Amino acid sequence: MIGVVTNNANETIALGRQIGSLLRPGDVLAISGELGAGKTTFISGVAAGLGISDLVSSPSFVIINEHFGRIPLFHIDLYRLEEGMDIEQLGIEEYFKRGGVVAIEWAERMGDLLPDQHIDIRLEPLDDNRRSITIDDRGSNRIPSQLIGG
Ligand code: ADP
Ligand code: MG
Is pLDDT larger for residue 42 or for residue 148?
42
Contact at 8 Å (CB) between 74 and 101? yes
Strand positions, DSSP E, the chain: 2-6, 28-32, 64-67, 73-77, 101-105, 119-125, 131-136
How confident is the model over 66-92, as pLDDT tens digits? 999 999 999 999 998 877 777 888 888
Q: What is the pLDDT of residue 88?
A: 81
Percentage of the residues of the chain whose pLDDT score is greater than 90: 76
* Rounded Cα distance, 111 and 59, in Å: 20
Which of residues 148 and 126 earns the better pLDDT score?
Answer: 126
The verdict on the CB of residue 3 being under 6 Å from ligand 1 is no
Query: Which atom of ligand 1 is closest in space to residue 35's alpha carbon?
Result: 4
Which residues have a beta carbon within 5 Å of ligand 2, which is an ion?
Answer: 39-40, 58, 105
Q: Name residues whose C-beta falls within 8 Å of residue 80's C-beta, 6 or more positions apart in sequence.
A: 60, 61, 63
The rounded Å distance from CA 96 to ligand 1 centre is 26
* Any atom of ligand 1 within 6 Å of the Cβ of 16: no
Q: Which ligand is nearest to the CA of 78?
A: 2
